[in-house]
Each structure stands twice: as structure tokens, then as C-alpha cells.
Structure 1
Amino acid sequence: MNQLKNAHSPYLLQHAENPVHWKFWNNKTLENALKENKLLLISIGYSACHWCHVMEHECFEDFEVAEVMNTDFISIKIDREEQPEVDAIYMKALQLMTKQGGWPLNIVALPNGKPVWGATYVNKNEWINVLSQLADLYKNDPEKMIDYADKLLNGIEIMSDTNELPKSKTSFDLDELVNKWKRSFDLEFGGYSRAPKFMMPTNLDFLQTFGFLKKDNAILDYVDLTLTRMAWGGLFDTVHGGFSRYSVDVKWHIPHFEKMLYDNALLLKTYSDAYKRTNKPLYKEVITKTIQFLNNEFYNAQGGFYSAFDADSLTKENKLVEGAFYSWRIEELKNIISDDFDLFSKVFNINSFGFWEEDLYVLIQNEELELIAKEANIPLEELVEKKRIWEIQLKQIRDKRQKPRLDDKIITSWNAMLLSGLVHANSILNDIALENTITSLETFISNQLTKEDYHLGHVYKNNQLYIDGLFEDYAFVIQAYIDLYSSTFDESYLQKAKNYTHVAFDLFYDVEKQFFCSHKNDPNLIIKHFEIEDNVVPASNSVMANNLIVLGLLFENSYFTETAKKMTNHILETIDYASAFSHWLLAFLKTEKSFTEITIIGDKANEYNNEINNFFIPNSIISGSKCKSNVPFLKDYSFNQTTDIYICTNKNCLKPINSIEEFSIYYENINN
């Protein structure tokens, strides 16, 4: 029978009424597959995935399909957000078999879990046909499938072996890698010259850092073009706030409309850094609206944040349609905006540029408000105010619509990403309410997502922490506590970061491979998975390398430092395409001469820190104390009548600075 009615995951619960006899991924299910000698059908997706819903409706709700699946297969349904390590392993199999990836991810495997076939979305007739052929082949010629499975597993093992990473054709040259990277830049709309278009915050973080350090205005202009176009496009919801996962076109216009916590969490830092660098009002608007969206829609009263909004939402006719909540008809807009419709249409392109499909439009800006105001012969301030009022009016109408379905899982790693993002955002907003949100989220992570002895869980729902923490949870939680320390100088946060780090070493570090495995030893997994390549979310190993460099410095812990350097240097030897390793490159920069240590000692340490955090100072660590410190890095600093700012680069320290005014002069001098 279908076991999913007992699931926590909203995605699994969506399949609880299917006639398919879905099982959970666990020891019992996999043991039964071996006993019954049945093929496994492993279907992986997530609640916000549009094509996952389409395939469920066309295939898994169908009794004819269910008959085939129930007769010849043991069918397992997995939420990839609950078990990303299982997803990652079988995604590698799919990529080897088909040269593509995506979700829904459907794998047919031998009873021992070794994959033999894979696909993403498949329609009903093709699904029945393929499954029938595979079932017949296993009954009539199992050795053929077993031989193929062994060869495929060997390929997966090679892909996953950190010692088998392909060496770069050339010696590591960061400038050359970046120049090669530039060839893929879309200089009209930002991002890369292809669709679909993902936002890739970690790429932008590195490019912003590298461009600033190198004084490369071409790179910084590209970053600003990308951030501006992303904010203008339908990808960013200017009415309710928040980014969708990706755009299906090159101009960031039409997304798949799912909104994920991790995208919005990571982009808070990216836009905060960009605002510090440029003071561009649009960036601050994006930050403010994104936080408002997260607080209004994803916030849990205990202090954590939910995972996602679905891509699909209900129309007036009560039909689930992709983007129904976000799209508009002209007649509707004219009724809402009335007298100002022509100007509104100019701002948000209610024309061929903003057209989506049928008679629907998705709001998109295509030029700066300054230019539109000048053309309309009105002050910029007046247009900005009109835009604000229009968005309020649209929100009032939208609020009457059925919202997209909410995935109310609370995922530890994603909440830690958000904690970091909020800390960076508050360095420019200095908002008391946001400070309270940060405090409550930290408390939630510490009290609800952490078990005894700094062991984390991975998912929290219905007041229950379930699934043991994965390495990604530790990596991002440690990063969040480092960020909290740097913004507050509260040494308890730094100690927590260190405590979680020791647990991560105990649970996940592979001494032979010199990397952290994504999961604890699990006999049900066909291989160990090491997350190495940065994607939309940076790889947990690259996040940890950055963490260890900072913790190694502050705790004067050479093991942390050397581990990070070994990890990073191993990766540097393999890099041909920088975009897949951009967070590793940030770790590399931390080991270079440009890495800056800013230390603030004295009564006004926190005040000075708040001021200094308004500056964009990439590739740096800020530490300090207003009293005698227990942090090894700070223990030898003396306290004077003044508050002193020490700036050291490449083990060379400047004369102490005693005021923010002096620091401003220093900052201007080094950046001009």
C-alpha cells in the first residue's frame, strides 16, 4: 500500500493518495527489494517543482500506470530536500546516462540500488512502455542489466572520487580563468548567454570581490548589470518581494515561479555587498522587499523559516496553473491603475516586451526610472512614489487571490543561509525588528535544530526534528555563526562555530580523501558522495574551506588552516571553468596577500564595527573586543584609552587608526 500518508514532507504528502504503492527510502524498503528480487523505481522531486506535479497528475494518479508500477517494481518516492545525498548520487547516474539533469528525477535500479535507467519528465504512454520493457528485460535477461549497472556504477564512482578529479590542462592562473569566464557573460541582460537562466549568487559574490580587488570596472559593471536586470525582471516579484528560482528566457522575465528560501537567503548577501559598493537605491529596495516577503510568507512563529512556494497556484476557476498568482491581464491592470496606466505601462512594459502567453503579462522593467521620469517630464521622486503606490494597489488585488502552496518544512542548512543573509542585510539596514528576527532565528537553530553535543538535525516540521544533519547543515550553520560573531563580537557565537566544526570533523571528514563526505556512513547508498562543485548553492566543502580559514586564524588552529588549504589546493589543480568553483576561489583569495585582518580593540569596538560594516571590504575578516578577550587571535592586543583599529595585510600591519574618519580616509586611499 501507499505509505506516504505518514510522511512529514509536503511533497510526499501530495502523493499520499496516489494508487501507486509508494514506499519510503529506508532499510526496510531496500531489504524487501532484495528479498523479493524486484527492481526499484526511485522517483525524486520537490514540492515547488512544476513538472513534478505534471508527471504526478499524468502518471502517478493513473490506475493503469499504478498497475504496472505495483506489479513489477518497488516504488520509492523521495523529497530531494529531505535527502539531497540520495538525489545527488542518482542525479550523477542520470547525467552519465542521458547527459542531462533535472526534476522530476526518475531512476530504475536493481534491487541492490545500482541504477540501470533514468529520465526526467515522461508522459503516461512512454512511461508504461519503458517500465514494461525494463521489467521484461530483468525477468528474461537479468545478467545484461547487472553488467550494465556495474559499468554505470564504476562511472559514478569515478565522477565521485575526489582523487580522480580531472586535472586542469594548464597550471592555475586566476586572471586567465576569469578572462575565459568573461566570454560567457551576457552583456545585454547580465548572467550568462543562455536560457534557462539561474541567478548563481556565489558566482556574483566572487566576481564582485575579484573585480573590486583588481579594480576591474568591466567586471563590476557586469555584476551591476546582472543584479539590476534580475531585479527588474519578472524573476523578482516587485509587488510581494522575493526571487523565483530561475528564468526560462534570457531577459530574466518569465520564471517557473517557484520561490525557494535558499535563493533569497543567498541573494541578501550579494545585494547587500553591492549596495555597500554602489549605494544604488534599487539594491536596498530588493533587500527590503525580499525580507518583507520572507517574514510575511515563510516565517514560523517559533523563529525558523519555511522552505518554498510552489510554482503553481489556483485561478479563479480553481484550476492549478503555473504563475496564476503573479500574472495580469490588461483589463485588470487598467481597472487598478486607471489614470496612470500609460505611465505604468511604460515602467512595467505592458507591451510586447512584457507579454507572457495567451493574454497574460508579467511585470518587467527595461530601463532606469530616471530615464522614464525624464521622458515623462516629471521629477524622479514623483515617479518613485507612483511606483510605490501602484505596487500597493496591485498587492491589495493579489492578496485576494489564492496563494501558491507552501512547503512548510524547515531545513537547517537553508535557515543557516538565511541567518547569514540577514546579518549582512542588517549591516546596511540597522533595523531593530530585523535584529530581533536574527536573534530569534539563531535561538531556533540553537534550540530546535540542534540536538545534544552540537549534533544537528536536517529537517524540522510539526515540532519534530527528523533526519540526521547532513554536512551541508554543519557547513552553513558554522558560516552563520562566524558571520554573527563578526557583526557583534559576541564570542559565544565563535565558540559555537568551533563546537559545530569539531562535530563535523567527527561525522563527515574523510582523512584519505581530505574532503568532507555529504552524509554519515549509510549502507543503503551505492557510493559516498562528496559535494565539490559550486552550483546555485555553493558546495558544502567550499563553504567549509572558507570557514576553516577564518576559524584557523581566530583560534590559531593550524589543523583547521592546513585542512582548508589542502582542500582548496586540491581543487585549484582541477579548475578549467571558474564558474563551477567560484566559492573555492573565494577560499583561495583568503590565503593570498590581499586578505585583510581588521581588528577593533577598545570601549567603542561595537560602535566602530557597525560603522565599518557600512563599507564594502571584501576578502577580509573583522574581529574585536571591548574587553579582555578569550579568542586566541585577540589575546595579545593591549587596551588603551582610545579604541584602536588595526589593519593587517600579508602579515604587515598599519599604524593603529583611532577614529572612523581616519578609517574612511584609509578606505578611500586604497580604493582609488
Structure 2
Amino acid sequence: MTTRPGRRTTATLALTLALLSATQPEAVESTEAIATHPPALQQRLDAALAAKGSDYAPRTEHLKPDGQPRFTNRLILEDSPYLLQHAHNPVDWYPWGPEAFEQARRENKLIFLSIGYSTCHWCHVMERESFEDLAIAELLNEHFIAIKVDREVHPDVDQTYMTAVELLAGRGGWPMSSILTPDGDTIDGGTYFPPAEFTRLLERARDLWQAQPDALRAQAERVARAVSRALDTQGQAAALDDAIIDRALAELLARHDELQGGFGLAPKFPQEPRLGLLLDQALRTGDDAALAAAIFTLKRMARGGIHDQVGGGFHRYAIDNDWLVPHFEKMLYNQAQLAQVYLAGWRLTADPNLARVTRRTLDYVLRDMTSPEGGFYSATDADSDGDEGRFFLWTPAELRAALPAEDADLAIRFHGVTETGNFEGRNILHVPVALDAFAAAEGVAPADLQQQLAQIHETLYQVREERPHPHRDEKILTAWNGMMISALAEAGAALEEPRYLAAAERAADLLWAEARPAPGQLTRVYLDGRASQPALLEDYAFLGAGLIALYDASADPRWLERARELTDALWSRFADPEGGGLFMGEASTDTPLMARPKDLSDGAMPSATSAALHLLAALDQRTDDLRYGQRAGALPAIPAILGDGS
């Protein structure tokens, strides 16, 4: 399953053991498990289904003889591809919002909260095994209010309930599964559950809620207090000075894998914020050790299977130490950050191979992850044609069928392809010998070899395009698009590539037109011509940074004015006047949340607070408004500067 390192917990919660150690349940009779909806809602669901058109293929095993889905729930009304994947489960899902909690309180039911995202492999597994199961659906529909959340749309909700799961279970991951009171406090939680264990969890929770509701509420209140304390502790920080940076760098270099690159043991994530820290240190101070570690990791990743050797771009992480076997999903935020760190590496070293990786990554996004309107899609799945990674794998026979004999032989040698393969009988293309060394052994000039390989990869790309593609999550997230705008604008200026700058400007104009319903206000999600969901701190901060990058690249003052508007709105919407710092989201009075979290630790992405701090500093340097510098100085330092990298 998709996991991340868990926090150590100081107490064992008896309820967790009670829930998971219950005896085997009696069999639940499978019925139609059809939820009854009010007529007005049913009309909306029917209209939304009809609007999908005749080519619509419902994602469910429960179909009528005419191919129509037997079940349709409220998620068909949503703008999240992840939620839409579950719109025809027999589970009567609700989206996150006040309606679900009001219904839970009215019927005095527990809430089952499921959090995941559209390209999550184990989320798909739990859907097939449990959420498509009629008996489990009947159990959920009768005794729970089931809420489905896309963590990419609601990272503030995810962080709050993930903190509870980590405290309870010792680790977190997706899919995240939690049992809540009607008031939204966590009773118990975990990640992926096999069907039998999931059924036991639900039945035991149901029985305890019916027999001991006060005890469960008291337990949930204790968990909520623990979550609040944990989030408050994360928000405590001392002043960020050179001594803290030096300690962070020393720890990071101590964890650097000098044989294979990266930090720590498998699974290995790119950990772009850490690479950025090393490269920034090298730029500011001339630190040779920091530069060497960062460049070594960048080169090793570029040679590994985590790097799509045919199509460009990077998979999310590698499951081994040598970057060979990736988890095959691709995320927009990885492409944006890796393009920036490879560009920074090239600027510091003038190594043309680093510039080539930058270009290939950005070209992949422009070719395969860009909407007709110019926005950037969120992700592609790990699975294709029924198997993980099938789209990206090759056999020697497939290479020989795709290429002329001489090119096929070269591709097989260069990419370490064998008859037995390196992943389930097929081959993940990688570069076991560095290009210059391979060229020397072959007796050819590196530039000539590079040109021949580029032609080979283009041919393989065209052949691969005929295969069944992984699912693509086509929602356009404001924050992630802001990150890609920054990468394209910076690369367009540094590499003197006008098309990158043009793509960045087009995306920024799209968001300004579609994701800005009023001055000083943003939405987070844009999908199928419709904007939705109030924007979070990270949306204002990362889009603001993208606008600053466009201003720096073009000197067009409109980008600076737009960045100022977003920055002023950011401070008014998210600043904590009492505790200091910035909240992840705006306060909500209609949907309960155990705590209002702040994003202070870098992980797979820079924290939202870090992005806001950089934006404020950038405006302090580019305007004469003293407030930006004062606000930057008022923010707490990042307490976990290294984050967890996942």
C-alpha cells in the first residue's frame, strides 16, 4: 500500500485492540444494498448520469443488462476524479461536507471516513475487495454514514485524520480508513484492510456504538486532544538560523547513500526539498560536499527506472535502493520540482545531461499532462491493462518488433534488457552503465550515441502510445499548477526556450480566468470547465510563486500585481492572529474537523508555510512595501526542515 513513515506513539489505545481482535462475525446476507434517496436528490443523480453520455463506462462490476450501473451515489455530482471512480459503488458515499455530518447526527450513526487519491494502487484494491462487495456495502449503508475524501483536494482534512491514524496505528498511508463519531472525532483508524478484517472492524464498532456510546465518545475526545497536541507540537519552532541549517545539512549528508544516491534505505523518494536545500547551500556558500551529494543523486535517478527512459518524466518513488523498480504512478508535483532541481544542478555544473533531463521532464508534461486549455493534469496511475506498470515494460521481442535490428540491439544493450527481465518477466528500461562510459566501450562519440538514442526513444514512444494507457487524473489543481508554472518560467529563461515561457503564461492566464471567482479569492480544483472547492494556503502560495517566476522571466508588471493580490489575500485568509503562523485552510463552521492544522514540515512537497515564506520574501525584494518583509519575519521557522520525504 502507499505508506509513509509512522510516528512513534506513547500510549496503546485499548479500543484499537478491541476492534481488531473481535471474533469472526456472523455472515451478512447479501442483498441489493440499494440506498433510498429523496426524490429531488435521485433526480439530480439520474441527470448527472444521463449527462455522461452514451460512451460513459461506469467503473463498477454491478451493471444492469443494458450496461447501466445498478448503483449511483452522490459522488457522481463531484469534481474529483477519485470520487467519481466510486460513484457507482453500492456503498452510499457522501462527499466531505456538512450534509454527511448532519445526517450522521440526525440518525445517530458512526461515520466511516475513507481517504485516498485516484492513482493510489491499494485504494483501487480496497475498492474492488470491499466497496464493491454487496454485504460490506449493506453493513456500511445501514449502520454508518460513509464519507469519501480525495486527499489531493482536501490535504487539510487528510493531515488531520492522518495524524490520528499515525497516533493509533503507529504509521499512516493510503487508503486511510477511520471510524468517527457523528461530530467528526476519530474512534479508530488504519490504512488498507482486507475484506474479512474490515468487516470485523465495522461490526465491532457498530456493536460498541450501540452498547457503549458514551465510552466511545470519551475515547474519541481523548484522540482529538492527542491530535491537537501533536499538531501544536509540530507548529512549535525556534528561529531559523545558520546553526539549524548546518545541523540539517550534516544530518542529511550523513544519510546520503554514497553508493546509489538518495537518502536512507528503500523505498526511495526523490525528496526534492532536500535536494533543493543541498543545491541552495552549494550556491550560497560553495559547499562542495552538498553539491556532490545532490548531483550524484540526480545522476543516479536519471539512470534508473524511476526515470521514464522512453517518455521522459519521473515516477513517484522507487521500491529498491538502486532506483530501478518504481511505483509507476506519475505526479505533477514531482515533475515540477524535479525540473527545478535538475535545472539548478545544470546551472551549478553546466553538465548538459542535467539540462537534457530538465527538458525531457518538461516536454513530457507539455505533451502528455497538459489540457487543451493549457492547464496541467494531476497524475497518471501505476496500473494499466490490468497490471502494475504494464504500459512502461518491454521484452526483447517487443523491442525487436518496434525497431530496426541495429537499433534494437543497441537499445537492448544500453538499457540492460534481458530475456528474464527485471520486473515480473519484463524489463524496466534503465541505464546500468553511464552514457559516456558506454559510448567509450562502443567506440562512438557520446553526442552521436545520444542522438541515436533520442531517435530510438521517439520510435518506442510512438509504439507505446498504441498500448492501453494508465488512468490519467485530469483535475487541474491550483497549487500544483503554480509549481509547474514556476518550473516552466525558470527553465524558459535559463534554457532560452520561449515555448516553456509561453506554456507557463497560458496556464497562469487560465487559472486567473477560471480559478479566481473574485479579486483576492481562488478555487482549488478545475475540471471539465467547472471550478470548485475553496483554495488552501498552498494554492495561494504556489500560484503566487509561479506569478513571481513569470515576472522575473518576462518583466511584465501584470504578473507582479497578480502575485501581490494573492499574497495580500493569503495573509488575510490564513494568518493565525493568536498563535502565529498560517493555517492550511480557512475556518469552517459547518463541517467539523478535529483541529485546524498548519503545514510546517516539508515532505513530498515544500510545506505551504515554506512556500508562503518564499513568496513574502520575493515580494519584499521586488516591491517597496515593507509589510511583506515584516510578515515573513513573523512566520515560525520550519520545525522539521528535513520532513519525511514521501
Give TM-score, length-normalised by structure 1: 0.82
Contact 1:508 1:520 in 2 (8 A): yes
Question: 1: CA distance between counterparts of 2:422 and 2:179?
Answer: 37
When residues 24 and 173 of structure 1 are mapped into structure 2, their CA distance, relative to the original with a 3 A threshold, is closer
Contact 1:408 1:461 in 2 (8 A): yes
Secondary structure at the residue paired with 2:391? coil
Cross-structure match for 1:91: 162
When residues 162 and 452 of structure 1 are mapped into structure 2, their CA distance, relative to the original with a 3 A threshold, is farther
Contact 2:574 2:582 in 1 (8 A): yes
Cross-structure match for 1:469: 535
When residues 553 and 373 of structure 1 are mapped into structure 2, their CA distance, relative to the original with a 3 A threshold, is closer
The answer to whether 1:517 aligns with 2:583 is yes
Contact 2:620 2:629 in 1 (8 A): yes
Secondary structure at the residue paired with 1:453? coil
- Picking from 607, 610, 630, the partner of 1:542 is 610
User: 1:340: Cα distance to partner?
Assistant: 4.5
Contact 1:454 1:500 in 2 (8 A): yes
User: 1:4: Cα distance to partner?
Assistant: 1.6
Question: 2: CA distance between counterparts of 1:312 and 1:547?
Answer: 37
- Picking from 49, 53, 66, the partner of 2:124 is 53
Secondary structure at the residue paired with 1:195? coil
Question: 1: CA distance between counterparts of 2:634 and 2:261?
Answer: 34
Q: How many residues align?
A: 571
Secondary structure at the residue paired with 1:460? strand
Question: 2: CA distance between counterparts of 1:66 and 1:541?
Answer: 40
Cross-structure match for 1:484: 550
Question: 2: CA distance between counterparts of 1:505 and 1:516?
Answer: 8
Question: 2: CA distance between counterparts of 1:175 and 1:62?
Answer: 53
Secondary structure at the residue paired with 1:276? helix
Question: 1: CA distance between counterparts of 2:569 and 2:389?
Answer: 43
The answer to whether 1:357 aligns with 2:428 is no
Question: 1: CA distance between counterparts of 2:511 and 2:392?
Answer: 32
The answer to whether 1:347 aligns with 2:414 is yes
Cross-structure match for 1:33: 104
Question: 1: CA distance between counterparts of 2:388 and 2:605?
Answer: 24
Question: 1: CA distance between counterparts of 2:333 and 2:372?
Answer: 19
The answer to whether 1:504 aligns with 2:570 is yes
Which letter does structure 1 place at the counterpart of 2:218? D
Which letter does structure 2 place at the counterpart of 1:195? A
User: 1:31: Cα distance to partner?
Assistant: 0.6
Contact 1:162 1:513 in 2 (8 A): no
Question: 2: CA distance between counterparts of 1:146 and 1:138?
Answer: 9
Matches within 5 A, 1:154-553: 154-161=225-232, 165=236, 172-314=243-385, 320-337=386-403, 338-351=405-418, 355-523=421-589, 524=591, 525-553=593-621
User: 1:7: Cα distance to partner?
Assistant: 2.0
Which letter does structure 1 place at the counterpart of 2:401? N
When residues 421 and 192 of structure 1 are mapped into structure 2, their CA distance, relative to the original with a 3 A threshold, is same
Which letter does structure 2 place at the counterpart of 1:123? P
Contact 1:42 1:106 in 2 (8 A): yes
Cross-structure match for 1:21: 92
Cross-structure match for 1:594: none
Question: 1: CA distance between counterparts of 2:451 and 2:225?
Answer: 61
Question: 2: CA distance between counterparts of 1:142 and 1:172?
Answer: 51
Moved more, 437-446 or 406-415: 437-446
Contact 1:245 1:258 in 2 (8 A): yes
- Picking from 135, 151, 165, the partner of 1:64 is 135
Which letter does structure 1 place at the counterpart of 2:622? L
Q: C-alpha deviations, 1:221-268, integer Å up to 9, x for none?
A: 111111111111111112111111111111111222111111111222
Contact 2:489 2:549 in 1 (8 A): yes
The answer to whether 1:580 aligns with 2:643 is yes
User: 1:333: Cα distance to partner?
Assistant: 2.2
Which letter does structure 1 place at the counterpart of 2:560? L
Question: 1: CA distance between counterparts of 2:642 and 2:286?
Answer: 20
Which letter does structure 1 place at the counterpart of 2:611? V
Which letter does structure 2 place at the counterpart of 1:580? G
Determine which structure has greater relative contact order: mean sequence separation of CA pairs < 8 Å that are 6+ residues apart, divided by chain length. Answer: 2
Cross-structure match for 1:11: 82
User: 1:118: Cα distance to partner?
Assistant: 1.1
User: 1:527: Cα distance to partner?
Assistant: 1.2
- Picking from 155, 162, 175, the partner of 1:104 is 175
Question: 1: CA distance between counterparts of 2:516 and 2:485?
Answer: 15
Q: C-alpha deviations, 1:283-321, integer Å up to 9, x for none?
A: 22222222222122221122211111111111xxxxx21
Question: 2: CA distance between counterparts of 1:520 and 1:268?
Answer: 31
Contact 2:305 2:323 in 1 (8 A): yes
Matches within 5 A, 1:110-129: 110-129=181-200
Question: 2: CA distance between counterparts of 1:301 and 1:561?
Answer: 39
Question: 2: CA distance between counterparts of 1:563 and 1:61?
Answer: 50
The answer to whether 1:555 aligns with 2:626 is no
Question: 2: CA distance between counterparts of 1:220 and 1:436?
Answer: 31
Secondary structure at the residue paired with 2:532? strand
Question: 1: CA distance between counterparts of 2:409 and 2:503?
Answer: 40
Contact 1:25 1:76 in 2 (8 A): yes
Contact 1:498 1:551 in 2 (8 A): yes
Secondary structure at the residue paired with 2:543? helix
Secondary structure at the residue paired with 1:102? strand
Moved more, 388-397 or 149-158: 388-397
Question: 1: CA distance between counterparts of 2:644 and 2:551?
Answer: 26
Which letter does structure 2 place at the counterpart of 1:545? L
Q: Percent identity?
A: 32
Q: C-alpha deviations, 1:401-452, integer Å up to 9, x for none?
A: 0111111111111111110010111123322322321221121121111121
Cross-structure match for 1:667: none
User: 1:138: Cα distance to partner?
Assistant: 1.3
Which letter does structure 1 place at the counterpart of 2:518? E
User: 1:534: Cα distance to partner?
Assistant: 0.7
- Aligned-residue CA RMSD (Å): 2.1
Which letter does structure 1 place at the counterpart of 2:311? H
Q: C-alpha deviations, 1:207-234, integer Å up to 9, x for none?
A: 1010232222222111111111111111
When residues 396 and 503 of structure 1 are mapped into structure 2, their CA distance, relative to the original with a 3 A threshold, is same
Question: 1: CA distance between counterparts of 2:498 and 2:477?
Answer: 25
Contact 2:231 2:597 in 1 (8 A): yes
Contact 2:396 2:412 in 1 (8 A): no
Contact 1:422 1:434 in 2 (8 A): yes
Q: C-alpha deviations, 1:634-666, integer Å up to 9, x for none?
A: xxxxxxxxxxxxxxxxxxxxxxxxxxxxxxxxx
Contact 2:228 2:594 in 1 (8 A): no
The answer to whether 1:140 aligns with 2:200 is no
Question: 2: CA distance between counterparts of 1:378 and 1:453?
Answer: 59
Contact 2:253 2:293 in 1 (8 A): no
Question: 2: CA distance between counterparts of 1:36 and 1:24?
Answer: 17
User: 1:351: Cα distance to partner?
Assistant: 4.2
Give TM-score, length-normalised by structure 2: 0.85
Cross-structure match for 1:656: none
Secondary structure at the residue paired with 1:81? coil
Question: 1: CA distance between counterparts of 2:234 and 2:272?
Answer: 28
User: 1:342: Cα distance to partner?
Assistant: 4.5
Cross-structure match for 2:46: none
User: 1:547: Cα distance to partner?
Assistant: 1.3
Question: 1: CA distance between counterparts of 2:435 and 2:502?
Answer: 34
